[in-house]
């Protein structure tokens, strides 16, 4: 396959094309993924947090650090909140444009729900392609509060939760259940008032939290992203967590979890599609006659 050869030869346009194909669920994309999966290994860092918390500004600084170390870096900006904007609006939100000239940096936004397995599936597919292409570090930025933040953990090796001194930020995090799953906490916009208070709040809460796998204690850091303050410490904390995973032998279970997540995403998407086609059965559930289980049974397992 020509695209495969170009991909293997390191053609960046072949990578972009492959991601587009995989994102849309095109058979050619599936075929490529099948052949390329398992090649390469990147450190996958997920950055999540409420809109405008400074995820992109921080990522921009982290790219810089990784480049100084000679790593090849990719960024996936995932936007579950806007299925229709494509890359355009998201582009403005990605404050990393200055890296676009650098061939060691690849930045891509994902907002399509059209894919098999939905946006989540598209994200993992893109990750696999980026790893196979030889990127050593991949940042995944997700916007939004809620399920997407919980999901990111299942694909990232290290999850960074970006908070701000803004009132309610910590409360949101508690609600969404991200507190329990983030590996590193960073209070960005520490130049604004209220930063110290939220740091204390976080520390207190974390002390009460149940023990993590391998005994990891999530650090609470501070940053002022536009000034690159706290970025060295954040980078160091990310790598410390990665070393922890390696030492504890947790990397393999992370990979399995990622694959499980992918399969689940595809099943969910199939379920959604079949449900849309089964209007009659849905009505029978709504007005009586069928239980949801019976309808699901028929939708998923009946032939024709
Ligand atoms: N005062 C201050 N402003 C910051 C800091 N970090 C980022 N900002 C500003 O906050 C705004 C949002 O920053 P982004 O990096 O785009 O935030 P984001 O979390 O990626 O935003 P979305 O992707 O839209 O959710 C920008 O105007 C930044 O310049 C900080 O540490 N202090
Ligand atoms: Mg952003």
Within a domain: 21: no
Q: What pLDDT sits at residue 82?
A: 53
Within a domain: 104: yes
Within a domain: 46: yes
Cα–Cα distance for residue pair 217/214, rounded to 1 Å: 9
Measured in Å, residue 165 CA sits from the centre of ligand 2 at 18
Within a domain: 152: yes
Question: Would you say residue 203 has pLDDT above 70?
Answer: yes
Residue 48: partners with Cβ closer than 8 Å, 6 or more residues away: 55, 141, 142, 148, 149, 152, 159, 160, 161, 162, 178, 182
Same domain (yes/no): 214, 296: no
Measured in Å, residue 279 CA sits from the centre of ligand 1 at 44
Sort strands 184-187 and 73-78 into parallel, antiparallel or unpaired.
Answer: unpaired
Structurally, how many domains does the chain consist of?
A: 2
Cα–Cα distance for residue pair 59/64, rounded to 1 Å: 9
Instruction: State the CB neighbour count (10 A cutoff) for residue 60.
Output: 23
Q: What pLDDT sits at residue 269?
A: 80
From atom 12 of ligand 1, which residue's Cα is the shortest distance away?
52
- Name the residue of 226, 227, 230 whose CB sits within 8 Å of the most ligand 1 atoms, as the mutation to test its pocket: 226
Atom of ligand 1 nearest to the CA of 188: 31
- Name the residue of 48, 49, 52 whose CB sits within 8 Å of the most ligand 1 atoms, as the mutation to test its pocket: 52
Q: Quick one: average pLDDT of 135-163?
A: 80
pLDDT in tens, 164-199: 998 666 666 666 567 778 899 999 999 999 999 999
Assign 293 a pLDDT band (cuts: 50, 70, 90).
Answer: very high
**Is the CB–ligand 1 distance for residue 192 below 6 Å?**
yes
Q: What pLDDT sits at residue 262?
A: 82
Same domain (yes/no): 202, 300: no
Measured in Å, residue 54 CA sits from the centre of ligand 1 at 3
Q: Residue 294: enclosing H or E segment and its boundaries?
A: helix 292-301
pLDDT in tens, 19-60: 999 888 788 988 999 999 888 889 999 998 888 899 999 999
User: By residue range, what is the domain housing residue 141?
Assistant: 39-248
Question: Would you say residue 162 has pLDDT above 50?
Answer: yes
Give the neighbor-by-neighbor strand order of the sheet with 43-49. 105-110, 73-78, 137-143, 43-49, 158-163, 184-187, 220-222
Quick one: which ligand is closest to 80's CA? 1
Within a domain: 34: no
Lowest mean pLDDT among 82-86, 132-136, 213-217, 265-269: 82-86
Question: Would you say residue 152 has pLDDT above 50?
Answer: yes
Which of 215, 230, 248 finishes a domain?
Answer: 248
Phi then psi for residue 197, to 5 deg, are -65, -45
The beta-strand segments (E) located in 119-258 are 137-143, 158-163, 184-187, 220-222
Within a domain: 44: yes
Mean predicted lDDT score pLDDT of the chain: 85
Q: What pLDDT sits at residue 25?
A: 79
**Is the CB–ligand 1 distance for residue 51 below 6 Å?**
yes
Question: Helices H, strands E: what count in the chain?
Answer: 13, 7
Question: Would you say residue 114 has pLDDT above 70?
Answer: no
Q: What pLDDT sits at residue 151?
A: 73
Which of 203, 218, 248 finishes a domain?
Answer: 248
Same domain (yes/no): 88, 127: yes
Cα–Cα distance for residue pair 161/185, rounded to 1 Å: 5
Same domain (yes/no): 239, 124: yes
Residue 277's alpha-carbon distances to 174, 273, 296, 297, 299, in angstroms, are: 37, 7, 12, 14, 9
Same domain (yes/no): 231, 279: no
Question: Would you say residue 158 has pLDDT above 70?
Answer: yes
**Is the CB–ligand 1 distance for residue 127 below 6 Å?**
no
Question: Would you say residue 143 has pLDDT above 90?
Answer: no
Question: Would you say residue 96 has pLDDT above 80?
Answer: no
Within a domain: 23: no
Same domain (yes/no): 217, 299: no
Measured in Å, residue 304 CA sits from the centre of ligand 2 at 45
Within a domain: 33: no
Q: Which long-range contacts (CB under 8 A, 24 or more apart) does 12-16 make?
A: 12/103, 12/106, 15/106, 15/129, 15/130, 15/133, 16/108
Q: What pLDDT sits at residue 117?
A: 62
Q: What pLDDT sits at residue 24?
A: 81
Cα–Cα distance for residue pair 22/3, rounded to 1 Å: 13
From atom 21 of ligand 1, which residue's Cα is the shortest distance away?
52
The CATH number assigned to the domain holding 234 equals: 3.40.50.300
């Amino acid at each position: 396959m020509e695209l495969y050869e170009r991909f293997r030869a390191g053609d960046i346009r072949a990578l972009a094309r492959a991601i587009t194909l995989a994102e849309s669920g095109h058979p050619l994309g599936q075929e490529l993924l099948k052949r390329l999966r398992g090649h390469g290994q990147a450190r996958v860092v997920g950055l999540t947090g409420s809109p405008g918390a400074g995820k992109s500004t921080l990522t921009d600084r982290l790219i810089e650090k990784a480049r100084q170390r000679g790593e090849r870096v990719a960024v996936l900006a995932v936007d579950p909140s806007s299925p229709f904007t494509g890359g355009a609006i998201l582009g403005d939100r990605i404050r990393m444009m200055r890296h676009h000239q650098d061939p060691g940096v690849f930045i891509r936004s994902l907002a399509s729900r059209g894919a098999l397995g939905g946006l989540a599936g598209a994200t993992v597919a893109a990750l696999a392609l980026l790893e196979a292409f030889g990127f050593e570090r991949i940042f995944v930025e997700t916007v939004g509060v809620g399920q997407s933040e919980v999901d990111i953990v299942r694909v990232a090796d290290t999850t960074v939760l970006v908070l701000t001194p803004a009132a309610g930020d910590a409360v949101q995090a508690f609600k969404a259940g991200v507190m329990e799953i983030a590996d590193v906490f960073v209070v960005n916009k520490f130049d604004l008032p209220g930063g110290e208070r939220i740091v204390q709040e976080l520390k207190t809460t974390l002390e009460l939290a149940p023990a993590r796998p391998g005994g990891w204690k999530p650090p609470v850091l501070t940053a002022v992203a536009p000034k690159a303050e706290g970025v060295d410490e954040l980078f160091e904390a990310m790598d410390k967590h990665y070393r922890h995973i390696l030492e504890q032998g947790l990397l393999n279970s992370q990979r399995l979890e990622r694959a499980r997540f992918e399969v689940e995403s595809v099943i969910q998407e199939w379920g959604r599609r079949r449900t849309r086609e089964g209007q009659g059965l849905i009505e029978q559930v709504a007005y009586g006659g069928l239980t949801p289980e019976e309808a699901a049974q028929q939708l998923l397992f009946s032939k024709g």
